[in-house]
Structure 1
Amino acid sequence: MSVEEMIKKSILESDMYNQTISLGTVLTILIDMTAALLMGFLIYFIYKKFYKGVVFSRNFAITLVGMTVLTCMVTLAISTNIVISLGMVGALSIVRYRTAVKEPLDLLYMFWAITTGITIGASMYILAAMGAVFVIGMIWILCNGSQKGNIFIMIVHYAGDETGDEIFRKLAKMKYFVKSKTMRNDEIELTVQVSGRQDNLHFTETIRSIPQVRDLTLIQYNGEYNG
């Protein structure tokens, strides 16, 4: 008997084609899928709480929950059947996802959802829980503790150098950084990065009241502005 025939015989005589599911298997599937769903909801709420972009995408947040559950289901399938696992590897190798990720931090949540589904599908609950604790702690420290207040981009069109000096005097008590200054004939466009709170934007009215200021635009900064 050749090696190929021995492999075929060992596979065919194994229990991988047996569709009978025991009560223990059903309980394991229910526990793993429930745990994956709960962890998916946890990832959803963490993503919603620490989101720093301009527009929150609820569809993407829901996708994180579904990704956790589906990854767990795939892991449960391939962990008990070598034939399905080989077929799954071949199927996933030809799949191409072309959806652009606008926020780089979204990749962290995607990989968190995938790895959580894999670890729960392998019944490694402690690893999934400890991983969640470390990831949440990292996100809280880096995203919440490193920045106080909001960052805005202020674009002002005015005329005259004296007006520019007056604008900087109004900003003297604030933390700001000049990003660009463009001069067109008698009009000057000034772009300034300003740090402040949502409920303390009275400086815009003060600057707008300067006689030579023609208009003022304030945009919340999310890291994607190129001035």
Structure 2
Amino acid sequence: MNFEDYFKKSVWETFTSSQGLTADFVVKAVVAMALAVILGILIYKIYGHYFGGVVFSRSFATTLVGMTVLSCMLTLAISSNIVISLGMVGALSIVRYRTAIKDPMDLLYLFWSISIGITLGAGIYVLAAVTMLVMLFVVHLFYNRRKKGVIYIMVVHYESGLAGDEILRSLGKMKYQLKSKTIRGDQTELTMELLCRNSNTLFMENIQAVEGVKDVTLIQYNGEYHG
């Protein structure tokens, strides 16, 4: 070993000792962060493929990648230095996130990203890979079940007392559940939950043709209806 190599090694050892770093830790951190980026992008792609909403939020999807990388970084930092770990616990305990999560599935993807990042930061790469496969299977399974039918809320206003029975007969073999029925004088408001196997809404025209029916409204059900 010549003087230049010895000098570089001495500088590196001085820097790493002062920062609490070792060569093994640097290799571990590089591998973990690289895997965090790869798996974070994979979660991003899965979220985009199985997204069931109306407007796809690219900013939220990008957040999934960032959450995976940042949670990995935090775990690496906590595992490398006890002082940093105590400081982060104190700092994170006062952080408050007030952004509302409207879709519970978004919360699932957020926690999925954080969990993968923590697992990678802890160096348990096999568990992270197995978790990715299991979660992909779960999301795919329930996504296919949801695609077998779409749930709607149908609101019908009618006046004739006999129109209610005709409305139910117009639904044919569709699965439905009565949510509410409100009578105001001569007018009745009927709210029902329907399961449509396809996008055919011809039954609405049949209901509208029933004598006494004033209007028919069909709304896709997203779990936020209260009636």
> Is the shorter-chain TM-score for this pair beyond 0.5, marking a shared fold?
yes
Answer yes or no: is the 8 Å Cα contact 1:183–1:189 preserved in 2.
Answer: yes
Do the aligned residues in 2 keep the contact of 1:167 with 1:207 (CA within 8 Å)? yes
Q: Which residue of 2 aligns with 1:209?
A: 209
| TM-superposition CA deviations, 1:89-127 (whole Å, max 9, x none) | 111111122222222333322221111001111222111
Alignment partners' CA distance in 2, 1:177 and 1:39: 42
**3-state DSSP class of the match of 2:183?**
strand
1:48 is the counterpart of 2:48: yes
- Tell me whether 1:154 sits opposite 2:157 in the alignment: no
Q: TM-score, normalised by structure 2?
A: 0.83
What is the CA-CA distance between 1:21 and the residue it aligns to? Answer: 6.3
Equivalenced residue count is 214
Task: Give SS of 1:100's match.
Answer: coil
Matched-pair contact (CA < 8 Å) for 2:160–2:211: no
Aligned to 1:172, what secondary structure does the other structure show? coil
Residue matched to 1:76: 76
Q: Which moved more, 1:178-187 or 1:101-110?
A: 101-110
Secondary structure in 1 matching 2:191: strand
Percent identity (aligned) = 54
Q: Hey, what's the Cα distance between the residues in 1 that align with 2:95 and 2:17?
A: 26
Identify the residue that residue 181 of structure 2 maps to in structure 1: 181
How far apart, CA to CA, are the structure 2 residues paired with 1:62 and 1:154? 36
Amino acid at match of 1:85: S
Gapped regions of structure 1 (runs ≥ 5): 1-13
Letter in 2 for 1:125: Y
Which residue in 2 is equivalent to 1:133? 133
Give, in angstroms, the shift of residue 24 of structure 1.
Answer: 5.6
Provide, for residues 170-202 of structure 1, a one-character-per-residue CA deviation record: whole Å limited to 9, x for no partner. Answer: 112211111111111111111111111452111
Equivalent residue for 1:163? Answer: 163
**Cα distance in 1, alignment partners of residues 49 and 66 from structure 2:** 19
Q: Which amino acid aligns with 1:202?
A: L
- 1:191 to 1:20, Cα distance in 2 relative to 1, 3 A: closer
d(CA) in 2 for partners of 1:54, 1:214: 29
Aligned position for 1:112: 112
CA distance in 1, matches of 2:90, 2:195: 50
**Greater mean deviation of Cα atoms: 41-50 or 150-159:** 41-50
The 3 A distance-change label for structure 1 pair 162 and 103 is same
Gap runs ≥5 in structure 2: 1-13
Aligned alpha-carbon RMSD (Å): 2.5
Contact residue 50 and residue 144 of structure 1 kept, 8 A: no
Contact residue 40 and residue 113 of structure 2 kept, 8 A = yes
Q: Which amino acid aligns with 1:166?
A: E
